[in-house]
Amino acid sequence: MLEIMMSLSREIRCCSRDEAICMDVTFHQFTILDAVAKKGELELAELHKILSVEKSTTTRLVNPLIQKGLLTRERAAHDSRAARLALTEEGRETHRKVLLCLAGFFENIARHLPGEKRKEVLESVRIFIGAMRKAAGDCQCCE
Task: Give 80-133 pLDDT, tens digit per residue.
Answer: 678 899 999 999 999 999 999 999 999 999 999 999 999 999 999 999 999 988
State how far Cα 51 lies from the chain centre: 7
Helix (H, G, I), strand (E, B) or coil at 21: coil
Q: Facing residues of 122 across strands? A: none
- Report pLDDT for 140: 66
Q: Which of 50, 45, 22 is nearest to 34 (CA)?
A: 50
Pairwise CA distance, residues 54 & 120, whole Å = 35
Residues 6+ apart with CB under 8 A from 128: none
- Give the rounded percent of residues in the chain with a pLDDT score beyond 90: 56
